[in-house]
Amino acid sequence: MPISPGPDPAVLYPDVAACGSLAAALRAAADGCLDAVPVRSSDLVHAVVPSAVPHHEPLVIRARSWERRWSIRGTEPFQNLPLIDGTTNDLAGIARAARAWHDGALLDDIRWAAPFVPLTGRLEVPDRDPARLTESEWQSLRLEAAELEYEWQQTYQGLIEAAYAEPALRALYPFTSHWALRFSTTTRPDLTVVGPCLGAKGDGSYKVGRSMAQEDVGVFTTAAEAVALAVHHLPAGLPPVALGG
């Protein structure tokens, strides 16, 4: 059955349509705060705002097709991971966030200028220091786990916190796939996977396996037990985390 394309953008965003583009509508709502900022847009639903600092990729602004709401996403260039990522129906708020991003403002200052912007927990690492990128990813995982609203949030958060508390795992670059926690000796974009895979199960237990789909190493009632076994199965003499790619 064919999927409906959704409402005409001009119906959801008549004010944007009246301006001719999302960039023009942003300027109209910005009350001067986007003066001299080269906002790029050729349609009603997309706009891009460049940054004056090299450790910010251009901010991407998109209009949703099923409701009147805009999303913004600001990433760092090396791993292409988001530093800010939020939605709002306040176009003036989007403009304030865009100005702060363009000017290279600190992440906390962007949040102050536009309170709808949730920080991802990641750190700005302009020099691409692998140790700082590793800590940045741990902080993002911990924040994500703390803010989950699933029934098994406490189990998953317990796993992340137990792994972070273990120095041997905290020294590795963490990443997740289908909510399974894995480790690497290199950062993104080219991961070098090492050690077993940790997972939180729906019944409150924890599994350790050689892959995401397995629990062949063990199943435990506490995160501490699972983490201890994962450490036991790490190869000896692992090097410090290096840049991937």
Select from 60, 102, 57 the least CA-distant residue to 78: 57
Cα 25 from Cα 79, distance rounded (Å): 31
Q: Are residues 196 and 159 in the same domain?
A: yes
**Sign of the torsion angle spanned by Cα atoms 42, 47, 49, 50:** negative
Cα 204 from Cα 202, distance rounded (Å): 5
Q: Are residues 105 and 140 in the same domain?
A: no
Q: Are residues 165 and 101 in the same domain?
A: no
Q: Are residues 76 and 138 in the same domain?
A: no
For residue 165, the surrounding DSSP H or E stretch is helix 153-165
Residue 162 located in a structural domain: yes
Cα 134 from Cα 163, distance rounded (Å): 13
Residue 96 located in a structural domain: yes
Residue 239 located in a structural domain: no
Residue 146 located in a structural domain: yes
Residue 92 located in a structural domain: yes
Q: Are residues 143 and 94 in the same domain?
A: no
Cα 56 from Cα 106, distance rounded (Å): 11
Q: Are residues 135 and 98 in the same domain?
A: no
Instruction: Report pLDDT for 221.
Output: 93
Residue 60 located in a structural domain: yes
- Residue 244 in 3-state DSSP? coil
Residue 98 located in a structural domain: yes
Q: Could you list the residue range(s) of the whole structural domain that residue 215 is in? A: 130-232
Q: Are residues 134 and 96 in the same domain?
A: no
Domain's final residue, options 84, 113, 142: 113
Q: Residue 238 pairs with which residues in a beta bridge?
A: none
Domain count, the chain: 2
Domain's final residue, options 113, 148, 166: 113
Residue 88 located in a structural domain: yes
Q: Are residues 64 and 148 in the same domain?
A: no
Q: Are residues 213 and 139 in the same domain?
A: yes
Q: Are residues 20 and 77 in the same domain?
A: yes
Q: Are residues 14 and 99 in the same domain?
A: yes
The tens-digit pLDDT sequence of the chain (245 residues) is 555 566 789 999 999 999 999 999 999 999 999 998 999 998 999 999 999 999 999 999 999 999 999 999 999 999 999 999 999 999 999 999 999 999 999 999 999 999 999 999 999 999 999 999 999 999 999 999 999 887 778 999 999 999 999 999 999 999 998 889 999 999 999 999 999 999 998 888 999 988 655 556 688 999 999 999 999 999 999 999 999 98
Q: Are residues 198 and 149 in the same domain?
A: yes
Cα 48 from Cα 211, distance rounded (Å): 39
In this prediction the pTM is 0.89
Q: Which residues of 122-139 are buried (b: 16+ CB within 10 A; e: fewer)?
A: bbebeeeebeebbbbbbb
How long a stretch of residues is the chain? 245
Domain's final residue, options 53, 88, 113: 113
